[in-house]
Structure 1
Amino acid sequence: MCRWLAYSGEPLQPSILVLDAQHSLVAQSLDSPLGAETVNGDGFGFGWYPSGTTRDPLPHLFHSIEPAWNDENLRELTMAVESPLFFSHVRAAGGPPIQQTNCHPFRHNRWLFMHNGSIAEFGRLKRDLTFAVDPALYPSIRGTTDSEVLFHLALTFGLQDDPVDGVRRAIRFVEETGHAAGVPFPMQGTVAVSDGVTLWAFRYSTQGRTRTLFHSADIPTLRKMYPEADRLSLFGDRAHVVVSEPLNDLPGAFLEVPESTVVVLDDTGYHHEPFLPHE
């Protein structure tokens, strides 16, 4: 499907992760060993919160239908800015057309959202799912992807007040709608959501065989494990990254997120919580 990363911590030049890591997101766009598709060349997106914003931060977006490995603007932009929280996503189109409005991350006010996975048989379910979106939010759907509809369902079900419950209720509705239409495993994927302060990362599928998701170990821990790793000096003590697959081969640097789990990342670090739609 796709590959994505989300960073939170001290302000960082995004190119350090997006471009320069051993298995950077751009490298994964050409070769993602753990992905459903090896190549993710159907466009990309980059969303970031400006450094220094402390109240109601509004994120910026850059989308392109170019392959990430072939876009000089991505290199220029990720080298020019610093951000304490940013998302980046490379796309492998599973059906919806290659166009900028279908590139992740998606934005609503201060919220960013991105997804790796799919709603099974979305064409059959699209009408019922889309019509369940709050009419006030419906005009904000600009593209044709299942991911954007899922985001707007989560907003409809209260994401801005309680992100975990909003995503849970949206996925429950997708599953109920799918099962009513005879789709056995409607939901698949990993999801990242942020308000610019906290990051929520979900790993869940109806079948219980979800796309991979990892998060980095704490930087102070990694410095003790690898005292000669000069690259770790680029990161502050609060630097954390959540990724579809690890950005390097250092044992213990990235930890797999369990199935049916939401990772909450705030100023105190990672918190894992069980994530299952209520029956």
Structure 2
Amino acid sequence: MCRWLAYTGEPIRPSALILDTQHSVVAMSLNSPLGAETVNGDGFGLGWYPEDAAGSPHPAVFRSIEPAWNDQNLREISRAVLSPLFFTHVRAAAGPPIQQTNCHPFRHENWLFMHNGAISQFGLIKRELTFAVDPALYTGIQGTTDTEVLFHLALTLGLMDDPVAAVGAAIRRVEEAGHAAGIPFPMQGTLAVSDGETLWAFRYSSQGRSRTLFHSADVPALRTMYPEAERLELFGDHAQVVVSEPLNDLPGVFLEVPESTVAVLDPTGYHHRPFLDA
């Protein structure tokens, strides 16, 4: 469907991961070995929290329907800004039209949200799910994707208070509606959510066969493993990356997030929690 990357840690220029890695996100937009589609050229997005936004983070978002590999503005912006937490996403449209409002990530106040995957046969249950969104949040839905509806459904169900519980409740609502409509496996995907301080990365599907998801190992441990890897000096001790597929081929650098799991990343490091595994 799509490919995405999220970073949290010491401020860096997003280009270090979006453009300059062996298997960068821009490279994935042209050739995604682990993706459902090889090419992800139906637009992209970059959302970032400014370096000086501590205490009251409000993310900036740049989205375009251009292929990521062909957009000079992405190169300019990703090399110019510094950010301690950013999202980037390259899209392979699975039904909703190619338009800027359908490009990820999506934003509400200080929250960012993006998704790789799909709500199966979304058109059959779109009306029910959309009408379940709080009327006060409904006007925030600008595009036509299942992801944006899922985001606003999670906001309705308490995302700003308990992200894990709210995303779980939103997915269960999708599954209930899907099963009632005769859809055997309604939910598929990996999701990223952040409030500007913590990053939550979910891997879940109704069928138990989710899209791939990985996160990086601790940077101090990687420096011990690869003492001659000069590139690691670009990153601070608290740097963490979550990505649809590894950014390089070095063993041990990227760890797979298990099925039905949420990875929680914050300044203390990362830990995994079971997610809807029942």
Q: What is the TM-score when the length of structure 1 is the normalising length?
A: 0.99
- Which residue number in structure 2 is paired with residue 94 of structure 1? 94
Letter in 2 for 1:14: P
Deviations along 1:92-138, whole A, 9 cap, x unmatched? 00000000000000000000000000000001110111010001100
SS in 2 for 1:140: coil
Deviations along 1:228-247, whole A, 9 cap, x unmatched? 11111111111110000000
Q: What is the aligned-residue identity percentage?
A: 77
1:5 matches 2:12: no
1:178 matches 2:174: no
| Mapped contact 2:2–2:35 kept (Cα < 8 A) | yes
- Which residue number in structure 1 is paired with residue 218 of structure 2? 218
Letter in 1 for 2:203: R
| Mapped contact 2:47–2:62 kept (Cα < 8 A) | yes
Letter in 1 for 2:116: N
| Mapped contact 1:168–1:277 kept (Cα < 8 A) | no
Deviations along 1:42-94, whole A, 9 cap, x unmatched? 00000000002211200000000000000000000000000000000000000
Letter in 1 for 2:272: H
Of 22-31 and 49-58, the range deviating more from structure 2? 49-58
Q: What is the TM-score when the length of structure 2 is the normalising length?
A: 0.99
Distance 1:277 1:149 in 2: 23
- Which residue number in structure 2 is paired with residue 165 of structure 1? 165
- Which residue number in structure 1 is paired with residue 257 of structure 2? 257
| Mapped contact 1:222–1:253 kept (Cα < 8 A) | yes
- Which residue number in structure 2 is paired with residue 112 of structure 1? 112
Shift of 1:271: 1.0
- Which residue number in structure 2 is paired with residue 44 of structure 1? 44
| Mapped contact 2:49–2:86 kept (Cα < 8 A) | yes
SS in 1 for 2:207: coil
| Mapped contact 1:47–1:61 kept (Cα < 8 A) | yes
Distance 1:54 1:16 in 2: 22
Letter in 1 for 2:82: E
Where has structure 1 moved over 3 Å in runs of 4 or more?
A: none
- Which residue number in structure 2 is paired with residue 141 of structure 1? 141
Between the two proteins, the alignment pairs up a number of residues equal to 278
Distance 1:52 1:108 in 2: 19
Distance 1:111 1:98 in 2: 23
- Which residue number in structure 2 is paired with residue 54 of structure 1? 54
Gaps of 5+ in 1: none
| Mapped contact 1:11–1:83 kept (Cα < 8 A) | yes
- Which residue number in structure 2 is paired with residue 124 of structure 1? 124
Distance 2:79 2:52 in 1: 18
For the structure 1 residues 277 and 153, does the alpha-carbon distance in structure 2 shift closer, same or farther, using more than 3 Å as the test? farther
- Which residue number in structure 1 is paired with residue 78 of structure 2? 78
Distance 2:99 2:206 in 1: 28
For the structure 1 residues 107 and 218, does the alpha-carbon distance in structure 2 shift closer, same or farther, using more than 3 Å as the test? same
1:244 matches 2:267: no
Shift of 1:277: 7.1
| Mapped contact 2:260–2:277 kept (Cα < 8 A) | no
